[in-house]
Copies of this chain bind each other. A is one copy, B any other.
Amino acid sequence: MINKTHQPDAKSWVDVPEGSDFPIQNLPYGIFSTNDHPQKRVGVAIGHQILDLEKAAKHLSIADKSVFSSEVLNDFMALGKEVHQSVRTELFDLLSEGNTTIDASYLVNQSDATLYIPIQIGDYTDFYSSEEHATNVGIMFRGKDNALMPNWKHIPVGYHGRASSIVVSGTDLHRPKGQKMPPNADAPVYGPSSRMDIELEMAFVVGKSTALGDTVEAEEAEDYIFGMMLFNDWSARDIQKWEYVPLGPFLGKNFGSTVSPWVVTMEALAPFRVAGPEQSPTPLPYLQTTGPRAFDIQLEVSLQPEGLAPQVICNSNFKYLYWSMSQQLAHQTVNGCNLNVGDMCASGTISGPTKDSFGSLLELTWNGTEPITLSDGSQRTFLEDNDTIIMKGWCEKDGLRIGFGEATGKILPSKK
């Protein structure tokens, strides 16, 4: 799938600063509006600009141009891979150095635009696919000998989460309140979470539906994936710990999750495909695939306390995940569960092998026993009010760099 849209030396007539997440080889989709045209519509990020696809649609061969005037990407996603591929090639040409079909009047400064959650999300699944994360959490809660559950190496473990509270980067969230059981207490208490955590994840968006009863073969699963985003699965550990037995996380998670505004397509990610970790024991046949199914996506988390500069607290990589997106999707549908365009599946916390690559404060501070020291000398175990978390992700190889932008959010004090 390496074609001209992946050439590292390709340039756009739009200015793309060195190190930008959005060179001409990326072309991620989002939903934006502007003050002078407040209707939400589809755009593509290029450098510091957005190409307005509602306006540019007349230069594209796509039959149904109304998909670019939609408030969500779902209608465009539903058109299928062939259309996505041809739109990508045409956008690449329109934006290529020397092409004069369109000009700067088709562009909007990202700083002049409001970005929205780009997907009408149907069902949202959260997987648990990092062996390092599952092991770390297991050691903390059950000890070294029972760290991984018996099913973990056989099943891409996952559960359903809350779609309504998934918000776009830049949306601040109030610290959740709820029930928690203090250590050594006789009865639970009600109050704000005192163990506010993050989970560094990525999510993929389903771009092709299935009928109830149908299954998706692991080998074909990528046909059903439109693209990827950064995902912060905010977690209130005290609420989660008290509630999660036996039916899983609920209020410890569903007060909010943050996604980045741009959906990077699988076509753009193609050059960064790598092999994932070796899997032993060999998964059951319905989970087997050929060829590399992981992606080399560098991930970075920064914590920014009020009034201080952001400080990097984690560097990880999407390629560390034990279970691939193909396996996750094959598993999700093996029982006939149907997919809709706009369904979202998150990876689970993406922790790497070293301590500085752990994707949650729970792991980074080892359950609060090893605090992080900040630039002003203060310490963090879990998040304080008005702390901001900034997640970034990018791929880099042979002079080609494409990025995901940011998934950023601030934890405001609890509402009265």
Tell whether, in the assembled complex, residue B163 and residue A336 are in contact, meaning their CB atoms are under 8 Å apart: no
The CA-CA distance from A122 to B154 in the complex, in Å, is 31
A334 at the interface (CB under 8 A from B): yes
The CA-CA distance from A56 to B5 in the complex, in Å, is 57
Closest to A251 in B: B335
The CA-CA distance from A226 to B181 in the complex, in Å, is 33
Known contacts A158-B247, A165-B212, A246-B149; A254/B187 CB under 8 A = no
The CA-CA distance from A214 to B334 in the complex, in Å, is 37
The CA-CA distance from A166 to B345 in the complex, in Å, is 19
A331 partner residues in chain B, CB cutoff 8 A? 251
Tell whether, in the assembled complex, residue A250 and residue B159 are in contact, meaning their CB atoms are under 8 Å apart: yes
A155 partner residues in chain B, CB cutoff 8 A? 179, 188, 242-243
- A326-362 with Cβ < 8 A to chain B: 331-332, 334-340, 343
Tell whether, in the assembled complex, residue B165 and residue A251 are in contact, meaning their CB atoms are under 8 Å apart: no
A7 at the interface (CB under 8 A from B): no
Partner pick for A160 among B151, B246, B254, B415, CB 8 A cutoff:
B254
A337 partner residues in chain B, CB cutoff 8 A? 162, 164-165, 251, 254-255
Tell whether, in the assembled complex, residue A256 and residue B177 are in contact, meaning their CB atoms are under 8 Å apart: no
A254 partner residues in chain B, CB cutoff 8 A? 160, 335, 337
Q: How many copies does the complex hold?
A: 2
A97, chain B: closest CB distance, angstroms? 43
A332 partner residues in chain B, CB cutoff 8 A? 251
Max count, chain B CB within 10 A of own CB: residue among A154, A178, A179, A247: A247
A176 partner residues in chain B, CB cutoff 8 A? 335-336
Tell whether, in the assembled complex, residue B243 and residue A177 are in contact, meaning their CB atoms are under 8 Å apart: no
A340 partner residues in chain B, CB cutoff 8 A? 164
Contact-size category for A: 35 or more
- A180-222 with Cβ < 8 A to chain B: 181, 187-190, 212-215
- A236-286 with Cβ < 8 A to chain B: 236, 239, 242-251, 254-256, 281, 284-286
The CA-CA distance from A157 to B158 in the complex, in Å, is 19
A43 at the interface (CB under 8 A from B): no
A128 at the interface (CB under 8 A from B): yes
A178 partner residues in chain B, CB cutoff 8 A? 334-335
A297 at the interface (CB under 8 A from B): no
Tell whether, in the assembled complex, residue A161 and residue B164 are in contact, meaning their CB atoms are under 8 Å apart: no
Known contacts A242-B155, A339-B164; A249/B247 CB under 8 A = yes
A192, chain B: closest CB distance, angstroms? 10
The CA-CA distance from A247 to B243 in the complex, in Å, is 11
Give me the interface of A with B, judged by CB distance under 8 Å: 122-123, 125-126, 128, 149-151, 154-155, 157-165, 167, 173-174, 176-179, 181, 187-190, 212-215, 236, 239, 242-251, 254-256, 281, 284-286, 331-332, 334-340, 343, 415
A164-B340, A190-B334, A251-B335 provided; 8 other pairs, C-beta below 8 A? Answer: A157-B243, A159-B159, A164-B339, A174-B213, A189-B284, A236-B335, A244-B246, A255-B335
Q: Which 3 residue pairs are nearest across A and B when measured between Cβ atoms? A: A248-B248, A176-B335, A159-B247
